[in-house]
Amino acid sequence: MTAAAMSIGEFRGYLAGQIGRAPESIPLDAALRTDADLDSIEMFLLVIAVEDLGVQFPEELLAHVVTLEDAYHHYVTQLGHR
Amino acid sequence: MEGPPLLGRRVRLRPVMPTDHDYLYQLATHPDITWRWRYRGQSIGYDTFLQQLWGGTLVHFVVERRDGGQRVGYVQAFDASERHGWCHFAVMLDPMLERSGWAIECLALFFNYVFTAWNFRKLYAVVLENNYEELHSGAGTWFITEGRLAEHEWFAGRYWDLVFLTVRREDWEPSGPALVAKLTERPAGPVRETA
């Protein structure tokens, strides 16, 4: 890994801040759309916020990102491939 | 001077061409869209559709995927009152993408375009209560709720409220152009002279 990755807690705190939510309202293993009840605007802002970390989110991959844990795994994996 | 950007991270807005008519008719009459679009599930003739596609339209775009150019939706500003400084807007997206946030990216580009090209104060959308839930987090930042007609429309066994959303220039300008610049990687939005 060539860049220091956030911890999963930092990652959740960062994303929650970007979409204007309390971190506790987005459990790590909750489905973002259904369990955490993120609406279209929040999903859009969340993806933009992850991409702002230098992570690419191609559409075919986005479909597999269901939880915050999934997003974090993708983030860490991409950092490792830089 | 460049025009407002129409190319985002995932979508591109481009002018509607006659070759898009069949696609747009199919989209507007798609079973997952027609009950939410202005026809509310009613069958509409192709010629009537075309009249309404262009009649009253101020500006509209086909939404394409940035990669590949596949058409995925449509966004429209219509029933404009330049005298009073407002117009209405509507968006429909391929049902496969409806919960993806892509509509928000295309709306950000579109709001930026309309607020840059016209001196509107307000952009209005009228949505059914169940559609509003898809957008509720934007209340107070992206839009305000200016009106609600209680139990106005019947669908699927009950009456639903009709909600009037307003995107105000004064709310858009502090953060909207910066968001669009981030999406397009170039400056966006109205150029304002500073004192």
A59-62: long-range contacts at Cβ-Cβ below 8 A with a sequence spacing of 24 or more? Answer: A59/B10, A59/B100, A62/B100
Yes or no, beta carbons of A40 and B103 under 8 Å apart: yes
pLDDT score at A81? 66
Yes or no, beta carbons of A40 and B9 under 8 Å apart: no
Q: For chains A and B, what is the number of CB pairs under 8 angstroms? A: 45
Residue among A39, A44, A51 whose CB faces B136 most closely: A39
**CA-CA-CA-CA torsion sign (B91, B93, B97, B102):** negative
A48-63 pLDDT tens trace: 898 888 888 777 677 7
B114-154 pLDDT tens trace: 999 999 999 999 999 988 888 888 998 899 999 999 999 99
Q: ipTM score here?
A: 0.81
DSSP characters for B13-37?
EEE--GGGHHHHHHHHT-TTTTTTS
Yes or no, beta carbons of B101 and A44 under 8 Å apart: yes
Q: Tell me the C-alpha distance between A69 and B103, whole Å.
A: 25
pLDDT score at A4? 72
pLDDT score at A1? 44
Which parts of chain B sit beneath pLDDT 70? 99, 186-195
Cα→Cα distances A55→A5, A64, B57, B165, Å:
12, 15, 38, 33
Query: Rounded to the nearest 10 degrees, what angle do helices A8-19 and A68-80 cross at?
Result: 120
Q: What percent of chain A has pLDDT over 70?
A: 91
77-136 in B: which are within 8 Å (CB) of A? 98-105, 133-136
Whether residue A2 has pLDDT greater than 70: no
A7-55 pLDDT tens trace: 999 999 999 999 999 999 999 999 888 888 888 899 889 988 988 888 8
pTM of the model: 0.89
Whether residue A65 has pLDDT greater than 90: no
Strand residues in chain B grouped as ranges (E): 11-15, 57-65, 71-81, 86-93, 122-128, 144-155, 158-168
B83-95 pLDDT tens trace: 999 999 999 999 8
Yes or no, beta carbons of A19 and B137 under 8 Å apart: yes
Please give the backbone phi and psi of residue B34, each rounded to the nearest 5 degrees, phi first.
-60, -35
DSSP characters for A21-53?
--GGGS-TTSBTTTTS---HHHHHHHHHHHHTT
